[in-house]
């Protein structure tokens, strides 16, 4: 984090440093102030923050750091919004399909902070197909800008000559490409009869109740996360809560995807949120992990146990089933 701060002028470093204290979030107020001081727009700021986001990554297999910055819904009509950082996370001795991509991390970070939607995302290079599909669950058919550093864009996306000035330099430090251009003929929620998208405010509670009364605070937080999870295709509503030895608690929600594979399991979501925190807590600080779910034709139990085992040889998963009136 400190190494990345030197890339910003001194007058904005305190605002940028606040991201670490706020779980990987730059508030709309600070975002507006930084943009004014640097005389840039929010899109340019998002692109400049991508290397900072990448510094949170844990690429234990690939050694390839990826960062992403998502913008929330505009606040007070002044063009400012909260910015949410995300980074990739990989699990040793586990299948690559369980890796958390930076774009997933940024979206989940926003969702777990109760942001009602994402309006754009900045990444260091065009998102992989997995992430394009994941982002489609958030954007649907609405315009959704992908902000990319100009140096990363080639002629397969846009006519690079249109981006250059008469002296051959780049006219802007970033390029905006719509998700629909990166994911033509997309398959999404409507194809499976779902009219709502991930993060939509009116998705509401899943009305889950535990099969056995439990007044444990960590279990209650996992239940609350499950109640806010998104599983329109299987109704496998699930939430996870992990507690550290210092007492801090992080929760994660299941985020399902119409294409199934890009779905983000709740344990990975909670772990990603923990990684974005300061101080940078290590996996050895995990003390308890609770999973609450409404098992249907699928379950999050086995994958959570496997991923937890990859993180800790001591902590055992605490598992609770729930039922819902939606079944």
Residues with active-site annotation = 103
Please, what's the largest Cα pairwise distance for the chain? Answer: 71
A 10 A CB-CB count for 303 gives 19
Instruction: Write the DSSP symbol of residue 182.
Output: H
User: What sign for the dihedral angle of Cα 152, 157, 158, 161?
Assistant: positive
Question: Which residue shows structure tokens 């397969």?
Answer: 156
Q: How far apart are CA 185 and CA 65, in angstroms?
A: 30
Write down how long the chain is. Answer: 327
- CA distance to 126, 149, 174, 197, 281, per residue, from 184 (Å): 14, 22, 22, 18, 40
- CA distance to 231, 262, 269, per residue, from 258 (Å): 10, 8, 18
Contacts of 49 (CB under 8 A, 6+ apart): 16, 19, 26, 67, 69, 83, 85, 122
Q: Are strands 120-123 and 174-178 parallel, antiparallel or unpaired?
A: unpaired
Tokens at residue 222, please?
């996992």
């Amino acid at each position: 984090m400190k190494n990345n701060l030197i890339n910003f002028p001194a007058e904005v470093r305190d605002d940028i440093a606040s991201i670490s204290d706020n779980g990987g979030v730059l508030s709309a107020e600070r975002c507006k102030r930084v943009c004014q001081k640097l005389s840039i727009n929010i899109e340019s700021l998002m692109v400049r923050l991508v290397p900072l986001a990448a510094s949170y990554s844990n690429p234990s297999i690939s050694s390839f750091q990826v960062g992403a910055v998502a913008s929330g819904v505009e606040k007070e009509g002044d063009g400012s919004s909260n910015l949410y950082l995300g980074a990739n996370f990989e699990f040793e001795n586990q299948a690559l399909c369980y890796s958390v991509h930076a774009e997933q991390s940024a979206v989940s970070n926003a969702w777990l902070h109760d942001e009602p939607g994402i309006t754009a995302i900045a990444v260091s290079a065009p998102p992989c197909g997995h992430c394009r599909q994941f982002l489609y669950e958030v954007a649907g058919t609405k315009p959704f800008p992908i902000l990319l550093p100009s140096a990363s864009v080639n002629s397969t996306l846009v006519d690079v000559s249109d981006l250059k000035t008469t002296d051959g330099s780049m006219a802007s430090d970033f390029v905006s490409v719509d998700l629909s251009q990166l994911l033509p003929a997309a398959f999404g929620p409507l194809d499976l009869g779902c009219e709502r998208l991930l993060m939509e405010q009116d998705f509401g509670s899943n009305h889950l109740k535990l099969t056995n009364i439990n007044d444990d605070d960590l279990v209650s937080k996992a239940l609350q996360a499950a109640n806010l999870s998104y599983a329109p295709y299987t109704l496998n509503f699930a939430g996870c809560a992990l507690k550290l030895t210092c007492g801090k608690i992080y929760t994660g929600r299941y985020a399902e995807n119409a294409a199934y594979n890009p779905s983000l399991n709740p344990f990975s979501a909670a772990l990603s949120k923990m990684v974005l925190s300061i101080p940078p807590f290590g996996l050895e600080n995990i003390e308890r992990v609770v999973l609450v779910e409404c098992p249907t034709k699928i379950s999050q139990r086995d994958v959570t146990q496997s991923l937890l085992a990859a993180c800790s040889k001591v902590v055992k998963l605490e598992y609770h089933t729930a039922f819902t009136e939606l079944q």
